[in-house]
Amino acid sequence: DAKTTQPNSMESNEEEPVHLPCNHSTISGTDYIHWYRQLPSQGPEYVIHGLTSNVNNRMASLAIAEDRKSSTLILHRATLRDAAVYYCILRGYGGSQGNLIFGKGTKLSVKP
Amino acid sequence: DTGVSQDPRHKITKRGQNVTFRCDPISEHNRLYWYRQTLGQGPEFLTYFQNEAQLEKSRLLSDRFSAERPKGSFSTLEIQRTEQGDSAMYLCASSLGAGQNEKLFFGSGTQLSVL
């Protein structure tokens, strides 16, 4: 499975936008980009996913580069509750379809 | 819909003892996953079920680990002869299994401490 690279940590101020980057230079044409987040003492939580086009939902936006070698998760207005570890994961076709492979993610801190 | 439920939330055991964890997935979810997470690391895949069939097992899942999902509903994960290296958070997740659009719903996990 293709790997992703994320910064270990990022900081944000409350009510400001946050852009969480992810590099996936070895992505294949059929890999979907998934984002999960994990709040303290909880299991991971699905955030958003996409293939080629930018995606929006109530939680966040996903901006995918034209060459698909990178993507950015955008939280439009960070709240204290958004402090979590954010994981960028590639979900491929074939091979190990049955599982998500998590890296270490980006730990986001939100300051009041 | 109460989400994915795991029991117990915490388990402390002595090395060499057997432990069993239970996971109740979201009803009608046909896929069920087990992951393990140690401090500072992302979750690591252990195994998953499609209904009652165990379809994939990680090389992390040694012979001391066994998972079952007898009726395609709840699942159990048993660890025999526990070792200190088994100390971790054990996470369960379920999904409707929609291929690359699949969304996993995780429980809050069982924290295992082996003394």
**Reduced to 3 states, what is the DSSP secondary structure of residue A73?**
strand
What per-residue confidence (pLDDT) applies to A40?
92
Q: Which of B46, B60, B103 to mutate to test the interface with A (most CBs of A within 10 A)?
A: B103
- pLDDT, one tens digit per residue, over B34-84 is 999 999 999 999 999 999 999 989 988 899 999 999 988 999 999 999 999
Q: Using the beta-carbon criterion (under 8 Å), do B42 and A105 form an inter-chain contact?
A: yes
3-class DSSP state of B106? strand
- Residue A34 carries which side chain, given as an amino acid letter? H
Preceding peptide of A112 cis, ω within 30°: no
Residues in A closer than 8 angstroms to B100, CB to CB, are 30-32, 51, 91-93
SS (H, E, C) A9-58: EEEEECCCCEEEEEECCCCCCCCEEEEEEECCCCCCEEEEEECCCCEECC
> Phi then psi for A80, rounded to 5 degrees?
-60, -30
Contact A100 B56 (CB under 8 A): no
| Per-residue model confidence (pLDDT) at position B36 | 96
A34, pLDDT greater than 70 = yes
- Given a cut of 60, whether residue B96 has pLDDT beyond it is yes
Q: How far apart are CA B45 and CA B49, in angstroms?
A: 12
pLDDT at A97: 53
